[in-house]
Amino acid sequence: MKPEVTVKPGSEGSKAKYWITEHYKYVATTTHDPENLPLVIERGEGVWIYDVDGNRYLDFSSGISVCNLGYPTHPEVKKAVIEQLEKLAHGAGTDFFNPYQVELARKLASIAPGGLHRKVFYSNSGTEANEAAFKLVRQATGRKFIIAFYGGFHGRTMGSLAATASKNVHKKGVFPWMPGVIHVPYPNPYRNTWHIDGYENPDELVNRVVEFIEEYVFDKLVPPDEVAAFIFEPIQGEGGYVIPPRGFFTELRRLADKHGVVLIDDEVQMGLGRTGRMFAIEHFNTIPEVLTLAKALGGGVMPIGATIFRADLDFKQPGVHSNTYGGHALACAAALKTIEVTERLIPRVVELEKVFRDELLTLRDTIEKVGDVRGIGLAWGVEFVVDKRSKRPDVTARNRVVKTSLERGLVLLPCGKSSVRLIPPLIISEEEAKLGLSIFREAVREATT
């Protein structure tokens, strides 16, 4: 199968144009970009998306890493959901018990790194999973401060928003958010305040970040014994698909252990097989006390968030934290099957990494405006710059690449200031991956020359 775009997306007179206009009359403003991404989806099938004008696109977005098993979902997840729907969907899982949430929690605890006794708090989204993590660590440690990283994204509700620092628009006009969050630099190998080439000198970059935390936070800002947790993305998603040096999290773990600080690992975007491991943190040999998941966990069918934590951190009495939909039977059934299917897909993700690496590195080496390429598994970011020497972000070029790709039949999402992410569903075949990459290559050539 090939992409087929016969009606220019969002053009005058198209059905897409009609629905976008109606959308703006009735639906709240969120993150759409109708100029560069005028995609109005009618349906999806596997790795293919069909818009309301009948155009067919190859998907390299996975609905922001939700539809990892393809559209509308994997047949096994569909079957599990239908079977569950015959029995129970909502069973007020935080007030009444049900076996489905226990089965999922047992599974999540067993796949989480470290072999610790863990428990799970259920919610409906990534931001809620992180909110729960903050309440959890504050009440468990009696400490109040949270350290987060520049470039990180953890959600947009008032607690997780406080930790988010990828774009100032997220905070525009809505102060005050949750107090007590302190930001420190993330070891971004391509761009960092010290101008260190973190690919050439990863240890130096890691040391600078650790020194910064010790000297400028623990020494001058707050005593470390008042810090409850670090929250981080093992690979920054929204912030640009930034992969820190491999040694970073073992150093962070060491620092955290020294001061009794908890690690909260936000796996909302990178978790569940996207990087070729179930959790991205597994690439870094580090065991966090708390992991948060959402997005792909629901198999693209059900919204679900999960906060997986070392059991001794649990809330001390009923009512400290709870919600209405937590432990929703249908969401839990979808998630359990999603994990089973994902386990089988992981070897394929590992194999496909090379296909992406080869193609994208060639692109970086041949196109002046491709400043950086980074990725692992099926999580790839490409950063556009005015020129390689200055590294000045080229937002216009990035936007053109997104738009041109769409017009050529490839769906991509932007990230960071001037990057795109290439994150196909994990079910993609090698042939489809190569096809998507060749469209991307042509789109980049067209958009940057």
Nearer Cβ to ligand PLP, position 271 or 371? Answer: 271
Least distance CB 269 / ligand PLP (angstroms)? 3
Q: Minimum Å distance from CB 222 to ligand PLP?
A: 24
How does DSSP assign 260-276, residue by residue? TPEEEEE-TTTTTTTTS
Q: How far is the CB of 64 from ligand PLP (least distance, A)?
A: 6
Identify the three-state secondary structure at position 416: coil
Determine the Cα–Cα distance for residues 430 and 342; give it in Å rounded to an integer: 17
Q: Which stretch binds ligand PLP (CB under 6 A): 30-38, 119-127, 218-226, 385-393?
A: 119-127
Closest distance of CB 231 from ligand PLP, Å: 9
Q: Which residue lies nearest ligand PLP, judged by its C-beta? A: 126
- Is 237 a binder of ligand PLP (CB under 6 A)? yes
Please give the structure tokens belonging to residue 118. Answer: 């863990």
Considering the rule CB under 6 A, would residue 232 count as an interface residue with ligand PLP? no
Report 59-118 residues binding ligand PLP (CB under 6 A). 64
CA-based angle 382:385:387, to the nearest 5?
130
Structure tokens at 417: 């200031």
| Contact call for residue 294 and ligand PLP (CB under 6 A) | yes
Binding-site size for ligand PLP (CB under 6 A) equals 15
Q: Does 394 engage in binding with ligand PLP (CB under 6 A)?
A: no
Task: Identify residues 410-439 at the interface with ligand PLP (CB under 6 A).
Answer: none
* Among 126, 151, 300, 416, contact with ligand PLP (rule: CB under 6 A): 126
Of 68 and 130, CB closest to ligand PLP: 130
Locate 217 and state its tokens.
Answer: 């936070």
Using CB under 6 A, which of 59, 131, 238, 394 touches ligand PLP? 238
Burial class (CB in 10 A: 0-12, 13-18, 19+), 426: buried
Q: How far apart are CA 292 and CA 130, in angstroms?
A: 6
Q: Which of 60, 153, 325, 380 binds ligand PLP (CB under 6 A)?
A: 153
Q: For the CB of residue 83, give the shortest distance to ligand PLP in the complex, in Å.
A: 26
Nearer to ligand PLP (CB atom), residue 181 or residue 437: 181
Alpha helices in 281-394 (DSSP H): 329-366
Note whether 275 binds ligand PLP by CB under 6 A: no
User: Do the bridges between strand 290-293 and strand 305-310 make them parallel or antiparallel, or are there none, so unpaired?
Assistant: antiparallel
Residues 329-388 that bind ligand PLP (CB under 6 A): none
What are the b/e assignments for 210-229, b being 16+ CB within 10 Å? Answer: beebeeebbeeebebebbbb
Residue 268 binds ligand PLP, judged by CB under 6 A: yes
Q: Does 266 bind ligand PLP (CB under 6 A)?
A: yes
318 conformational bin, left if phi > 0, alpha if psi -120 to 50, beta if neither: beta
Closest CA to 374 of 270, 262, 254, 219: 270
- Output the DSSP codes for 99-149: HHHHHHHHHHHHHSTT---EEEEEESSHHHHHHHHHHHHHHHH---EEEEE
Binding stretches for ligand PLP (CB under 6 A): 64, 125-127, 130, 153-155, 233, 237-238, 266, 268-269, 294
